[in-house]
Amino acid sequence: MIYLNHNLKSYTSYHLMKTVVVTLTDQTYFHKAKRTILDIRSRGEWTGDLVLITVGFDAPPNFIEYYRIISKRVEHIDTSRVIEAYKTNPIRPTCDNREFAKLTQWDKFYIFNPMFAYWDRVIFLDAGLRVLDRIQILADLPCKGVLMAPDDAAGYDTEKRFGGIIETDRNPIVGKLFQEYDKSIMQERYFLNCIWMYDTALLKTISFEELVHAMNTYPICRCNEMTIMNLIFTFKYRVWKPFPEFTSGKRLFGWTEHDRDYGHTTWRDFCFLKYSSTITFECE
């Protein structure tokens, strides 16, 4: 469990305190987190509260002070039960071996810790995600009672559905899954979770502990924490609302500017990008 520092209010801009921007990293990805934080404060023009959750290490004090960050250290969520379950019922390997090599992804559940009830809205950005326009674009979207995140499939895509990120043909726990959830969820749309935003009123219903429990109950997730987040937010509580595709004349979010679905684009055509190879600025 993590709690607010006693001196949090000294960091808080009261006129903006209803929204907090958050990113999370372990030490390996800290250089990526720094890049995103720099974007948030510069290109993103965000002067409000900014939380950095560090998994298993302490961020440098001078960095925290310079960027006016509320820093919270946590320890890695215990994933030993999941790994043991893979030994009994092996999950099919993914292209990036995330089920074994990217276990820190599960630590995103910390973004639903009760401490965030201090704010009204949480905006989460993956470490390394590029911020190319004002964070306020997200803060201005109506978000009451929902979690907002990008649809992982293009609007015209009739094939990319939730069944692609959960394994249901080789583990006996699937019987329990389909007692709790209707099989129709396999054909439903789901969200991508490298960028999301939620109304903290949801914390009265959905808890960090519930997410961890689901992680241990269903070791059949081909996208680690993203699969569980969709089980809970999209299918159990039905509170996912897709981000709009466009805002302020730009695409709100893109995976990469080279995606053929976007046509001929550069970073200037997006507000937020997960991976970019055309960005020409370092700090503006």
The per-residue pLDDT for range 139-197, each reduced to its tens digit, is 999 999 999 999 999 888 889 999 999 999 989 999 999 999 999 999 999 999 999 99
pTM for the full predicted model: 0.92
Residue 120: per-residue pLDDT: 97
The candidate with the shortest Cα–Cα distance to 33, out of 57, 52, 49, 56, is: 52
Q: Which domains does the chain have, with CATH numbers?
A: 8-245 (3.90.550.10)
Per-residue confidence at 257, pLDDT binned at 50, 70, 90? confident
Total length of the chain: 284
Q: What is the pLDDT of residues 97-152, one digit of tens each?
A: 889 889 999 999 999 999 999 999 999 999 999 999 999 999 999 999 999 999 99
CB-based burial label for 243 (10 Å; 0-12, 13-18, 19+): buried
